[in-house]
Chain A
């Protein structure tokens, strides 16, 4: 092992903890919620303002509550209530959907990205 070897090894051993602290932090806080109704109607609401929305879907009204920078389904006229069980959404990229009522809520951050590109 030469001195340059030791420098490279030390650099590598410092880089790894740095990467862990840099990239394994809590995800970014969301800023807005995008509510999609059917396949074309979109509502964007800020997460900073507490409010309750009645969103009309094909089955009836779904109730979506915004509170304290978070958003969730409160009620929905569906059978499974999966959307309500999704709970509070607050991080950029979080997502809940009521498929029977064709309503989805996505939390957006400052940047919008693709999920993945497929070949």
Chain B
């Protein structure tokens, strides 16, 4: 028999391994966090983002982007929200914060530190999620009553996770 099967060899690079390990870490945090109760839908600490920022500071933006996006996709597969509205919100938030981080890392001079990155990412995440929720799922003006509360939460958690990243970076150095 003439078989035309070809062997497809994938040679993972060191970067691939690194992305995989870091993503696994972020997914773990993502899952643990999804089990935490939340006082208000839409508010959660976003600790998985800590990993994204640490990766950004240590390995640069492309690796951070991989980790950030993969974390959302694989995390949603594990939790069981893949392709649900939750997933749409989660992915749009992740894409927005990755984009903002990309722009932020291009800043001249000393640029941003952990707190600045975390805060920007957290606010971009919340603003985008809110817009997507408003445009796609709940196009009612009453939703805007929630915006100040949600943004306050995102600012607080953004600063807190920035401080956590600071502490992690101190240990790693």
Chain A positions near chain B (C-beta within 8 angstroms): 1-5, 7-9, 12-13, 15-16, 19-20, 22-24, 93, 111, 113-117, 119
Contacts and interface: CB of A to CB of B under 8 A. Distances in A.
Interface of B: 85, 104, 107, 109-113, 115-116, 119-120, 123, 136-142, 144-145, 147-148, 151-152, 155, 158-159
A54 B148 CA distance: 43
10 contacts: A3-B110, A4-B111, A12-B155, A12-B158, A12-B159, A13-B155, A15-B151, A15-B155, A113-B139, A113-B140
B42 to A, nearest CB: 15
Given A8-B112, A9-B115, A115 B148 contact: no
A5 B140 contact: no
Contact of B116 (A4, A13, A22): A4
B110 A4 contact: yes
Contacts of A115: 140
A115 B158 CA distance: 31
